[in-house]
Amino acid sequence: MLSNRIAGNSDFFGESVLNSTSRLRVSDDLIDHVIRTTTKRDHLICELAHDHRVLTANQIADAFFDTGSRARLRLVNLYRKRLLDRFRPYEAKGSAPFHYLIGSVGALVVAARQGVDPSEIGYRADRALTWAASPRLDHLVGVNGFFMSLLGVARRSGGRAALEQWWSERRCAKSMAGIVLPDGYGVWNEAGHRMEFCLEYDMGTETLGRLVEKLVGYAELQKASGVRRWVLFCFPGRRREAEARKHLAGSTVPVATAHDVSNPAGQMWLPVNVEGPRRSLSGLPVWDLPNRD
């Protein structure tokens, strides 16, 4: 069983994910219970976990709950019912938050909401949990944290803001025909200012020349689509951002940079070829977007 495989690797995960929490066996009774008790919020969390692979407990709490305690209680409930799976990466100091993935029952919910056979959504528990040991985990969590933070801002805005679109790297690669491979794509609408952007989440591992090469693809995509999209570069520190801006100057596509994305909707964006002050996400110039899904 999946839960037994996780428990058998408790040293790697930091501690057994089971703890004192017992998981329910998949049965007709469990499926019936899930149908009767899961909420629209539960469904959305499952869909995001499926689309974006891994979401931390803190990210889910920020995006969907008023308090961390309520989030923890609900996530344990979803874990017990196998709508979500989870692991806790090892950290030499302190304790990492639980990282949540789509579970076997959650995959059934996602398939039902999409109107497809469960086999068509590509769920495999053994493949999903390879993220626990993936060297790309930190990058994925960082990218997803960016968008989950925007969902949190939108939730607390009283309807003033909304993240209208969020595409994963996989969907971007498919939809943009491989011309560019952004880490994510989104449409942010705040107070009627609707902007489209591609996200480049930099971990400091690529050469600065490689960042410039990416702009060639974005210029090609802009020409092919007739749409001006912001390219948002997030850097791990102020020095990295300053050096990158020298290389990004002169871009023919709109580029803005930040070195702190704790609040990606806030005043942390600096367009290239422009000296401060930094602008909020909605404060960047907006171009009309085509109507499309």
The single residue listed with the structure tokens 């803190």 is 58
Q: Please tell me the predicted confidence (pLDDT) of residue 253.
A: 94
Cα–Cα dist 89/96, whole Å: 6
Tokens of 50: 């499926």
How far apart (Å, rounded) are the C-alpha atoms in residues 225 and 102? 34
Domain boundaries, the chain: 2-134, 138-283
The reported pLDDT for the residue numbered 42 is 98
- What are the residues whose beta carbons fall under 8 Å from the beta carbon of 2, sequence distance 6 or more? 85, 104, 125, 129
| Cβ neighbour number for residue 26 with a 10 Å cutoff | 15
Q: What is the pLDDT along the chain (293 residues), one digit of tens a residue?
A: 223 333 333 332 233 333 436 899 998 999 999 999 999 999 999 999 999 999 999 999 999 999 999 999 999 999 999 999 999 998 888 889 999 999 999 999 999 999 999 999 989 887 777 898 899 999 999 999 999 999 999 999 999 999 999 999 999 999 999 999 999 999 999 999 999 999 999 999 999 999 999 999 999 999 999 999 999 999 999 999 999 999 999 899 999 999 998 999 999 999 998 877 999 999 998 754 444 44
Q: What does the alpha-carbon distance between residue 168 and residue 244 come to, in Å, rounded to a whole number? A: 24
Thinking of the domain 138-283, which architecture would CATH place it in?
3-Layer(aba) Sandwich (3.40)
Q: Which pLDDT score, from 0 to 100, does residue 53 have?
A: 95
CATH architecture of 2-134: Orthogonal Bundle (1.10)
| pLDDT attached to residue 114 | 94
Contact predicate 256/232, CB 8 Å: yes
Note whether 228 and 287 are within 8 A (CB).
yes
The type of residue at 180 is V
Q: What is the pLDDT of residue 234?
A: 98
**Half-sphere exposure at residue 154, Cβ-oriented, CA atoms within 13 angstroms:** 20
Q: 17, exposed or middle or buried, with CB in 10 Å at 0-12, 13-18, 19+?
A: buried
Query: Mapping DSSP to helix (H, G, I), strand (E, B) and coil, where does residue 162 land?
Result: strand
Backbone angles phi and psi of 149, in degrees to 5: -65, -40
Tell me, what's the pLDDT at 112? 94
How far is 132 from 123, CA to CA, in rounded Å? 16
